[in-house]
Amino acid sequence: MGLIRKIPAVILAQFDSANDLFHAAEKMRDAGYKEFDCHSPFPIHGMDDAMGLRRSPLGYIIFCIGSLGLIGALTLMWWTSAVDYPLVISGKPFFSFPAFIPITFALTVLTSALTATIGMIAINQLPRLVHPIFNSERFGKFSDDSFFVSVEANDKKYDETKTAEFLKSIGGKHIEVLKD
């Protein structure tokens, strides 16, 4: 499957606290690493800047598909009520716009919410149940109380020994090289 990005290997380093992870991320960014990630049990405020990440594009995607939902809902009601089977109900016009607002709103929210959820999962390339990082015994603690930096072998600056040394120099502990 070409859709799923291949990750041949990962170097993993553990950090003591959210604070250490944050400052490690800044150093990774300044050293020019791109394909690295900072794993934490909760989102850390300001981490995007520390890692040098851009804003998530998800908002624009949701806006576009949500707008399609809005147009689709109005088109559906217009076509069924005024074109395909026009029916006089309580003397209202066939295209009775004010009466169509509640359903237009509901369907816009529905398409936007579905896009937000499915879009988030898709951009994050989930579900991904096989990943070299899962070979680590220690990594499971990220979801409890530990903090990790992982560097993918896809990174241009990746070098098994140099990267490991760099991670150690910025405070990383228990450095592991994990292969697929």
Partner 1 sequence: MANTSTPEQSQQHGEVLIPGNPTFHSVSDAVSRIVEGKTPRAWWILFGINAAGTGMLLVAIAYLVWEGIGIWGLMIPVGWGFDITNLVFWIGIGHAGTLISAILFLLRQKWRTSINRFAEAMTIFAVICALLFPTIHVGRIWVLYFVFPIPNQMGAWPNFRSPLLWDFFAFMTYFTVSVLFWYVGLIPDLATLRDRAKNKVKKIVFGVLSLGWLGGNKQWKHYELAYLVLAALATPLVLSVHSIVSMDFATSVLPGWHTTIFPPYFVAGAIFSGFAMVMTLAVLARTAFGLQDIFNMRVLERMNLIMLVTGSMVGYAYAMEFFMAWYSGNEYELFAFTNRALGPYAWAYWIMVSCNVLVPQLFWSKKLRTNIAVMFVASILINVGMWFERFVIMMTLSRDFLPSAWDYYTPTKWEIMTLIGSFCLFFTLFLLFLRFLPMVAMSEVKGVLPDAHIHHKKHDAEAGSAA
Residues that bind partner 1 (CB under 8 A): 16-19, 22, 25, 37-48, 51, 53, 56, 58-59, 62, 76-77, 80-81, 84-85, 87, 89-90, 92, 96, 99-100, 102-103, 105-107, 109-110, 112-114, 116-117, 119-121, 123-124, 126-131, 133-134, 140-145, 150
Cβ proximity to partner 1, 41 vs 169, nearer residue: 41
The three state secondary structure string of the chain is: CCCCCCCCEEEEEEECCHHHHHHHHHHHHHCCCCCEEEECCCCCCCHHHHHCCCCCCHHHHHHHHHHHHHHHHHHHHHHHHHHHCCCCCCCCCCCCHHHHHHHHHHHHHHHHHHHHHHHHHHHCCCCCCCCHHHHCCCHHHHHCCCEEEEEECCCCCCCHHHHHHHHHHCCCEEEEEEEC
CA distance 88 to 93: 7
Cβ proximity to partner 1, 127 vs 161, nearer residue: 127
Shortest Å, Cβ 134 to partner 1: 8
Shortest Å, Cβ 105 to partner 1: 6
Shortest Å, Cβ 146 to partner 1: 8
Shortest Å, Cβ 170 to partner 1: 15
Cβ proximity to partner 1, 30 vs 161, nearer residue: 30
Cβ proximity to partner 1, 142 vs 166, nearer residue: 142
Q: Work out the angle at residue 11's Cα, subtended by the Cα atoms of residues 10 and 15, and round it to the nearest 5 degrees.
A: 130
Shortest Å, Cβ 78 to partner 1: 9
